Amino acid sequence: DPSAYRKPDLGGVSVSSENTLFYTFSSYTGSPDRVKFGGFYYGKNRDMSGAAKIEAVVTSGRFSAEILLKDYESEYYVCSFISNGDVEHVSEPKKVTIGSLEDYVEFGDFTVDSYVSLTQKAEVSVSFALAEGVDVTSCGIYYGETTALSVDDQCVFAEMVGDDCFSAVIPSLVAEKQYYARPFIIDGEDVAYAEVY
């Protein structure tokens, strides 16, 4: 009889994350012998309407799941649940704040690999480190003659070189002129900019 199911104790949601968009959520139940299913709901609404659901294996009363939260500059709510197969018990939601793409990208060295004055082209490379869960859908370099580089300046798109570097050829350079460059990485519709080099 589902109405006779006494809700066992349910821990809230704890989260561990370091340089990743894959968050590990954990919870527990004080009465694992009466629990058939456990897991988490996650979504954008505090009342958990429209939330996605993921089940987790309950071992000795504890369970956890790794969830990718990828909508930059947004808030998610996560709650845990346990069930005996008929009745479900849900914890209070926990808020998780996702930063901008720039919070998950660290740019490294900007290197001029070669410059050929005859063709007025420079081959450059940029190193970077990404948090787990970031996808590079495109990347490139803005360049110009001032440090105030923006999307209105000239731009070249780059090619990935391994998992932590991209390279590009900057054309139409005039000898003896000073140029500045600002690399960028795009993940979907989000952009992360490096400092100006």
Number of CB atoms found within 10 A of residue 150's CB: 10
pTM for the structure as a whole: 0.84
Say if residues 42 and 54 touch (Cβ distance below 8 Å). yes
Which residue has 């000898």 as its token pair? 175
Adjacent-strand bridge partners of 196: none
**Hey, what are 171's tokens?**
């054309």
pLDDT by 10s per residue, the chain, length 197: 555 556 778 899 999 887 789 999 999 998 888 888 999 999 999 999 999 999 999 999 999 999 999 999 999 999 999 998 888 999 999 999 999 999 999 999 999 999 887 788 999 999 999 999 999 999 999 999 999 887 778 999 999 998 999 999 999 898 888 999 999 999 999 999 999 99
